[in-house]
Amino acid sequence: MPRPIRFDHADYVVVGHRSGAPTTVYDITTPVLDGQYLLRPDESVGLILGVLGRAAARWSFDIYAFHVMSTHWHLLAGFQSLRQRARVMRFVNGEIARRINRLRGRRGPLFERRYTAIQVLSDEHALDRLTYIMAQGTKAFVVGHPDDDPFACSTPHHLHGTPLRGTWHGGDGPVVYPVEISPLPGLAHLSPAARQQTMRQLADDIARRERQHRKKAGRRLMGADAARRIDPRTRQRPRPASPAPVVHGTRAQEAAWREAYGRARDAYTEATIAFRAWQADQAHPLIPWPPGTLPPHFADDAFSVGCPAAARASPAGQT
């Protein structure tokens, strides 16, 4: 089955907090290979924060929320283009894998597959995704309240305004980078104190809800210390997988997104066929790939070794 094309709908953008440019919000999840607990919250916390801080320093993108569980990690972020998202995620996941492998004394891939990125189409759904991310440690019965979360996450900033920092170990020695958390676009009009109050209310609601779930399931809390000590080679018990949503939005927004995606997919296929024909005979006309998509990697490779720059039909503004 062919992989879906990378596509974002230009009608659902916000103003980037850091860049001031049109920005698309994504809910991104990356699972660890075989459900192993390789991201347990020990020395890895500072390493992961260092990678995120380094990425934020290189690219002007918005981090709204993140949470690194032992077996996977979540990121709610805003990017100015698909190309920027691809570069940031390739850097972040690649550097996390390299550094965690060194920490754990292992080799090989750390992450199971390509990350899943789902476009968020409304302020309401963005807040819902932030709440879901904040609830990770509580929902997994590790701690009873998000404020006690031991994992690398944005929760301390959301609840108390605590600055987040991590250490990047590079060729020039260790460098401490801040991890700036941007306010959700729908909450940007509030003062920092008002946003923290909103976040604390969400955290209290999460704690009450998960307390009921824990009681119903007859489960006890693992505790932060146990989460730090668990064998990284432990494998999470497989759970029934439910299909990921196409987008996070209303039914009407999803229908509009699907329709736009269908048009982009057809145009993308036409442009790719034309490119293959051009490779065989450069008299054949090229067709631009549609806006909101990325040309396939083999087109990037071909143009990088001397094909005419004017023929490259990547969307404007990709950085």
Q: What is the DSSP string of 189-204?
A: TS-HHHHHHHHHHHHH
d(CA 24, CA 59) in angstroms, rounded, equals 15
**pLDDT score at 256:** 95
Instruction: Tell me how far apart the alpha carbons of residues 123 and 34 are, in angstroms, rounded to a whole number.
Output: 34
Mean pLDDT of successive 10-residue segments in the chain (319 residues)? Answer: 81 94 97 95 95 96 98 97 95 96 94 91 97 97 96 97 94 91 96 97 97 93 95 84 89 96 95 92 91 84 48 41
3-state secondary structure 40-84: CCCCHHHHHHHHHHHHHHHCCCEEEEEEECCCEEEEEEEECCHHH
**Other CB atoms within 10 A of residue 155 CB:** 28
Q: What is the pLDDT of residue 97?
A: 96
Asked whether the beta carbons of 150 and 43 are under 8 A apart, the reply is no
- Provide the CB-side half-sphere exposure for 38 (13 A, CA): 26
**pLDDT score, position 303:** 54
Domains of the chain and CATH, by start? 14-248 (3.30.70.1290), 253-311 (no CATH)
Amino acid identity of 225? D
What was the pLDDT predicted at 314? 40
For tokens 């932030």, name the residue: 130
**Token reading at 96:** 């996390």
Q: Do 289 and 295 touch, CB atoms closer than 8 A?
A: yes
Q: What is the pLDDT of residue 244?
A: 86
CB-based contacts of 291-296 (< 8 A; 24+ apart in sequence): 291/10, 291/315, 291/316, 292/7, 292/8, 292/9, 292/10, 292/82, 292/260, 292/264, 293/5, 293/6, 293/7, 293/82, 293/264, 293/268, 294/5, 294/6, 294/82, 294/83, 294/86, 294/318, 295/271, 296/272
How far apart (Å, rounded) are the C-alpha atoms in residues 11 and 72? 30
CB proximity list for 293: less than 8 A, separation 6 or greater: 5, 6, 7, 82, 264, 268, 315
C-alpha to C-alpha distance for 181 and 67, rounded to whole angstroms: 12
Angle at 75 between CA 201 and CA 29, to 5 degrees: 120
Strands 22-31 and 72-79, by their bridges, are antiparallel
Q: What angle do CA 259, 263, 269 make, to 5 degrees?
A: 140
Distances in Å between the alpha carbon of 176 and those of 54, 81, 99, 122, 171?
A: 9, 27, 16, 34, 14
Distance of CA 289 to the CA centre of its chain: 25
93 vs 71: CA distance, rounded Å: 14
Q: How many Cβ atoms are within 10 Å of 23's Cβ, its own excluded?
A: 24
Give the C-alpha separation, 266 to 17, whole Å.
Answer: 34
- Residue holding tokens 């347990």? 40
